[in-house]
Amino acid sequence: MPPGPAAYAEAAGILAAGGLVALPTETVYGLGGDAGNDAAVASIFAAKGRPSFNPLIVHVVDAAAADAYARVDERARRAMELWWPGPLTLVLPRRPAARLSLLVSAGLDTVALRSPAHPVAQALLRTCGRPVAAPSANRSGHVSPTTPMHVADEFPDGGGARLKLILAGGRCTIGVESTVLDLTGERPLLLRPGSVTKEELEAVLGPVDLATAADGVKAPGMMTSHYAPGLPVRLDATDVAADEALLAFGPDQFLRGGAVRLNLSATGDLTEAAANLFAMLRALDRPGLSGIAVMPVPDRGLGAAINDRLRRAAAPRG
């Protein structure tokens, strides 16, 4: 359904009854369920085929709403003032009495919270009056969806009839998942890079550490193999085989061959590249090809988030 009061009311009713709704955010489309309903959260895991130890992001209207579910310190308040609503998820100590399903935290004593900036997501949150757990609206490990049709393609059976409605809010403007920052320790820990960069965070919060494998799976998107198309992905390509697809970046005239090619940004614009990333990976994931060759992307600013997703897409499957 297109966004509007009738669609928001129907979506709110579905959420209240324990069903799932796909909703647009400025990052990617989310598969939303009532974060306080164990059965609804379990339905998200079942629809996605998601490992139960991978936590979910809980979406709330604003900082005031977040305070009911987590202990918000001064660092978190500064981050919320600057980047909420927006593409920043904060991992915070979960309040013992928080009215959230324990499944959203996957057994941890923390909770990942975000206030999305997309007007459709905000309208739905205000209409339903409840926190919404919403990982990306795709099968676990697959490429994240940035249009409503991507969601429909991922769940042709409605996720086993669990997904009742897709709020068709157009194409997502950012196109990669939110930055995830853990504020439960003495120093901030960047669990997942996104459009709010490490440099921007450090300018406000001081030194920010980067998560390693030793930190475990504390937030969505930390599985080694993730965001993966069906075809193998080959990174830092300086050539392309005749039976490969090419995902280019910047001027690619010097690369010859390839069965099909798309360019994340012919001008080398990282913002444009991020917005195109998942849609182009999906478009190149075609039968009859041997793989997807990806040209190098600069590892600065938003490029760090793009490369994080590409490395996970190229990781060994399992």
- The three-class DSSP label of residue 16 is helix
CATH code that applies to domain 233-314: 3.40.50.11030
Q: Is the pLDDT of residue 223 over 80?
A: no
Full-model pTM: 0.81
Token output for 283 = 């478009």
CA distance 131 to 229: 30
Residues 116-152 have pLDDT tens digits of 999 999 999 999 999 999 999 999 888 999 999 999 9
Half-sphere exposure of 110 (CA within 13 A, CB side): 21
Mean pLDDT of 243-253: 88
Would you list the domain boundaries of the chain?
A: 5-177, 233-314
Q: Is the pLDDT of residue 98 over 70?
A: yes
Considering Cα of 49, then 30, then 91, then 272, what sign does the dihedral take? positive
CA distance 272 to 293: 19
CA distance 285 to 263: 14
Residues 47-56 have pLDDT tens digits of 888 665 578 9
CB 183 within 8 A of CB 92: yes
Q: Is the pLDDT of residue 250 over 80?
A: yes
CA distance 265 to 155: 29
Half-sphere exposure of 97 (CA within 13 A, CB side): 2
Token output for 43 = 């339905």
Q: Is the pLDDT of residue 27 over 80?
A: yes
CATH of 5-177, one of 3.40.630.30, 3.90.870.10, 3.40.50.300, 3.40.50.1400: 3.90.870.10
What pLDDT score does 85 carry? Answer: 98
Summarize the chain as % helix, strand, coil (round to 5).
30, 20, 50
Angle at alpha carbon of residue 217, lines to 71 and 205, rounded to 5°: 45
Pick from 113, 118, 111: nearest CA to 86: 118
Mean pLDDT of 61-80: 97
CA distance 122 to 28: 14
Burial category of 56 from C-beta neighbours within 10 Å (exposed 0-12, middle 13-18, buried 19 and up): buried
Length of the chain equals: 318
- The three-class DSSP label of residue 103 is helix
Bridge pairing between strands 88-93 and 110-114? antiparallel
Higher pLDDT, 5 or 316: 5
Determine how many CB atoms are found less than 10 A away from the CB of residue 127.
Answer: 17
H-helix segments, the chain: 5-16, 38-48, 63-66, 74-83, 119-128, 148-154, 158-161, 198-205, 270-284, 302-314
Q: What type of residue is 189?
A: L
Please report, to the nearest 10 degrees, the dihedral formed by the alpha carbons of residues 205, 121, 38, 191 taken in order: -30
What are residue 110's phi and psi, to 5 degrees?
A: -125, 170
CB 123 within 8 A of CB 8: yes
Whether residue 85 has a cis bond before it, omega within 30° of 0: yes
Q: Is the pLDDT of residue 89 over 90?
A: yes
The two counts, helices (H) then strands (E), for the chain are 10, 14
